Amino acid sequence: MSRRCRARGRAGAYTCAGVRIWITVGILLLFSIPVFPGGGALTYAEENSTFQIVDNLYARRCEAPENSRRMMEIIEEKLAADEQNPGNYELLWRAARGYLFLGDYAGESKEKLRLYEKGKEYAELAVAANSQGYEGFFYLGVLIGSIGEERGVMNSLFMVKPMRNALERCLEIDPERPLAYNPLAQLYWKAPGRPLSIGNIKTALQLAEKLVTLSPDSPYDWYIYGCIALATKERDLAMEAFTKCLSFPEDPEDPRLDREAKESARAELDKLKK
């Protein structure tokens, strides 16, 4: 149930515009943040402006700590101001996404858990607000997995099924969207097998194969595929996947995950070639 199973968590933020464009647009939008002195519901135009600001800050989350901090301030302010629409799905799943990122980069395990739990609360509100929303179920599943990893697998077996249910709901909503396949494949790979839990390496491999079919240029996804192939004793397939991992560029928005995947893939290849 790895916290690295979000396939870079790019739900709602797929744009890869140049850094200068992001900065220019972000600055212009930051100066146009609407003020709501009397509270009340957000208009359609105000909501769109808020989402643009938040997504621009999320795209630049690794550039400076103040970007993610300001992003969460805006989300929390808008949720508090939108008293007539407390179930604002678009804000709620973005809140879950933000707390997931903050938890990943927090130092101590206690602080990670606090941030993950906060994100999980928002994800639960998101799925309650929209039972057809992919992003809400995706972040709910990943946050459950992140909490489980911090607590330890054997202390978190009760969380496996809720995580699986949330991620499988994503596949029901949109089976051609790749995000949920990565954490779901890792769940079936890493969870204990029956009767303790649902672990199944064959299912994990099938999900990983679908993952790289839908996301063919992700170093991290190819790395996970390679790890699962290695666990099934598919040596040649693992070598191919690790080689693919090294061949693609890192995600410019959040390169750490891909960089670490490449380092591990290179080490695995070195061992396999001996």
Answer yes or no: is pLDDT of 150 > 60. Answer: yes
**In this structure, what token pair is assigned to residue 218?**
């992700």
Least confident of 30-39, 40-49, 154-163, 250-259: 30-39
Residues 54-97 pLDDT 10s:
999 999 999 999 999 999 999 999 998 876 666 899 999 999 99
**Quick one: pLDDT at residue 87?**
82
Least confident of 13-17, 127-131, 142-146, 236-240: 13-17
**Quick one: pLDDT at residue 43?**
58
Q: Summarize the confidence of residues 114-131 as an average pLDDT.
A: 97
Based on the fold, state whether residues 22 and 80 are members of the same structural domain.
Answer: yes
Based on the fold, state whether residues 133 and 213 are members of the same structural domain.
Answer: no
Answer yes or no: is pLDDT of 257 > 90. Answer: yes
Residue finishing a domain among 160, 175, 190: 175
**Quick one: pLDDT at residue 82?**
75
H or E segment and range at residue 72: helix 65-81
Predicted confidence band of residue 235 (pLDDT cuts 50, 70, 90): very high
The count of residues in the chain is 274
Based on the fold, state whether residues 105 and 22 are members of the same structural domain.
Answer: yes
Domains in the chain: how many in total?
2
Residues of the chain with pLDDT > 90: what percent? 76
Secondary structure (3-state) at 213:
helix
More confident residue, 44 or 88: 88
Task: Considering only CA atoms, give the Rg of the chain.
Answer: 19
Answer yes or no: is pLDDT of 4 > 50. Answer: no
| CATH number of residue 245's parent domain | 1.25.40.10
Contacts of 136 (CB under 8 A, 6+ apart): 89, 92, 93, 96, 123, 126, 127, 129, 130
Instruction: Tell me which long-range contacts 77-85 makes (C-beta under 8 A, separation of at least 24).
Output: 78/42, 78/50, 81/36, 81/39, 81/40, 81/42, 82/40, 82/41, 82/42, 83/39, 83/40, 83/41, 84/40, 84/41, 85/41, 85/42
**Quick one: pLDDT at residue 21?**
29
Residues of the chain with pLDDT > 70: what percent? 81
Residue finishing a domain among 175, 209, 228: 175
Residue finishing a domain among 131, 155, 175: 175
More confident residue, 45 or 193: 193
Based on the fold, state whether residues 187 and 212 are members of the same structural domain.
Answer: yes
Backbone angles phi, psi at 156, to 5 degrees: -130, 20
89-105 and 134-151 helices, crossing angle to 10°? 30
Look-up: residue for tokens 């206690």? Answer: 110
Q: How far is CA 54 from the centre of its chain?
A: 16
Answer yes or no: is pLDDT of 214 > 80. Answer: yes
Answer yes or no: is pLDDT of 12 > 50. Answer: no
Answer yes or no: is pLDDT of 42 > 70. Answer: no
Q: What is the mean pLDDT of the chain?
A: 86
Based on the fold, state whether residues 100 and 136 are members of the same structural domain.
Answer: yes
Q: Summarize the confidence of residues 243-272 as an average pLDDT.
A: 97
Answer yes or no: is pLDDT of 29 > 90. Answer: no
User: Rounded distance, CA 237 to CA 232, Å?
Assistant: 10
User: Rounded distance, CA 75 to CA 95, Å?
Assistant: 6
Answer yes or no: is pLDDT of 158 > 70. Answer: yes
**Quick one: pLDDT at residue 24?**
33
**Quick one: pLDDT at residue 61?**
95
CB atoms within 10 A of CB 150: 18
Where in the sequence is the domain holding 228, given as residue range(s)? 180-274
Predicted confidence band of residue 175 (pLDDT cuts 50, 70, 90): very high
**Quick one: pLDDT at residue 15?**
30
**Alpha-helical runs (H) found in 130-250:** 134-151, 160-173, 181-190, 201-214, 219-231, 235-247
Q: Summarize the confidence of residues 5-20 as an average pLDDT.
A: 37
Based on the fold, state whether residues 117 and 190 are members of the same structural domain.
Answer: no
